[in-house]
Amino acid sequence: MDRLLDPLFGVGAVDAAFADLARLQGMLDFEAALARAEARLGLIPERAVAIIQAACDARRFDLDALGREAAAAGNPAIPMVKALTARVKAADPEAARYVHWGATSQDAMDTGLVLQLRVAIEYLQGDLARLAEALALLARDHRRTALAGRTWLQQALPTTLGRKAAGWLDAVTRQRARLGELRPRLMVVQFGGAAGTLAALGEHGMDVAAALAAELHLAAPALPWHAERDRVVEFGCWCGMTVGTVAKIARDIALMMQTEIAETFEPTGHGRGGSSTMPHKRNPVGAAVVLSAAHRAPGLVATLVGAMPQEHERGLGGWHAEWTALPDLVRLTAGALKVTADTVAGLEVRPERMRENLDVTDGLLMAEAVMMALADRLGRLAAHERVEAACKKAVSQGRSLRDVLADEADIAGAVDLDALFDPLGYVGTVDRMIDAALARHHQD
């Protein structure tokens, strides 16, 4: 862990869920639950359970020693099982015979990972809900706050801030739904033994898997998934999509914070957004964190996807590639999500500046509105040509488009120019769109 940068890019509770101690404890929780499950089925002596369980405390292990041994063994579960067995043997040599009974190292590591992910997902769901509620409030409060819609970074047509927020909200709502859909597929135990057949347990293998899952409050999959990594990759892809979703929000807010735009601002606070040399600066520091995650996340997702073609019953190298890539990705996702939720909840909105920016083109923004009004009389192409010519004249003469059109009697007499140059008169069905996004949010 990096004490200087982790507070900037991560979330303390999620970082802790993937710390060395938590990784080890997840594996030990697997071992303790395995002993309980097997004793319940009469496969190991009941008296061994309490002794094994008492030894499954990560704080009693030497992490540095385990790390050094993992470098030689190929994974940290192998030295962990060795150390656990030694601890149990010191208390009861007979009980030590039943440590890790019928399991393999990947069973302990994968199930431990799922337990870590369960903790992280609780935080992710909480911040997703918090972000969604903040976006819903923004959409409701600003459904009639006129704003220049922009395409290719240029002003296009009027919209509203509420419509923009509703678009952000609907994307977040979809991510919440996706997480709910994939979670049952992910929250499963891994238990297959050496080659995925549970041969060491004879006819009892599947019964132990079910009992183990129940002990850990996980589901029991139809089969072990040692080399079929779609579960963790699906979650990794969800993380990548979530980072991309909140990065879109961050990008928009950062662009709207530009000095020349100045339509929204991230919340202020002591030491937030300043410059080391320029006292006047108000930097989009939250957006910077989120966008940095968006730069890093795709490579981590690609690592997970690239590791999927694993060899035969247990992979060589591909599984190992997940060990740091997935935790890093989850931590980045948690950090980006938290920062975005904080930013939206405290977003400073400047409607008056939005109105000023709507007028910056002297009415050109409303050209399509005029064209469509004239199209009923002239036909769409003829109306387009007339309004395009008027736009060119307005630019060349430095006049407003409305004044130019007012000089053309056939146009001024055919349409209500005052109504056509009201931005809120040409925002289509944004109210219905906002209502639809809000309805979906409340159903989630």
Provide the residue type at 324 as one letter. Answer: T
Tens-digit pLDDT profile for residues 326-347: 999 999 999 999 999 999 999 9
Q: Where are the beta strands (DSSP E) in 339-422?
A: 348-349
Q: Does domain 364-420 sit in CATH 3.30.460.80?
A: no
The question of whether 275 is a catalytic residue gets the answer yes
Phi/psi of residue 236, nearest 5 degrees: -60, -40
Active-site entry in 314, 353, 355, 399:
314
Phi/psi of residue 193, nearest 5 degrees: 70, -165
In DSSP notation, 257-314 reads: TSTTT-SEEPPP-TTSS--SS-TT----HHHHHHHHHHHHHHHHHHHHHHT-S--TTS
Reduced to 3 states (helix: H, G, I; strand: E, B; else coil), residue 134 is helix
- Four-residue CA torsion sign, 22, 27, 30, 34: negative
Nearest to 27 by CA among 65, 81, 97: 81
Q: Does domain 6-355 sit in CATH 1.20.200.10?
A: yes
The domain segmentation of the chain, as residue ranges, is 6-355, 364-420
Tens-digit pLDDT profile for residues 165-175: 999 999 999 99
**What pLDDT sits at residue 283?**
86
Tokens matching residue 85? 């067995």
Q: Is 26:16 a contact under the CB 8 Å cutoff?
A: no
**What pLDDT sits at residue 377?**
87
CA 333 – CA 285 distance, rounded (Å): 17
Residues of the chain with pLDDT under 50: 275
Which CA distances in Å does 151 have to 9, 50, 139, 279, 356? 30, 65, 20, 33, 18
Whole-structure pTM over 0.85, yes or no? Answer: yes
Tokens matching residue 198? 């549970």
Helices 20-40 and 105-141, interaxial angle, to 10°? 120
Which residue's structure tokens are 């000089």? 407
Q: Is 67:23 a contact under the CB 8 Å cutoff?
A: no
Active-site entry in 60, 272, 275, 377:
275
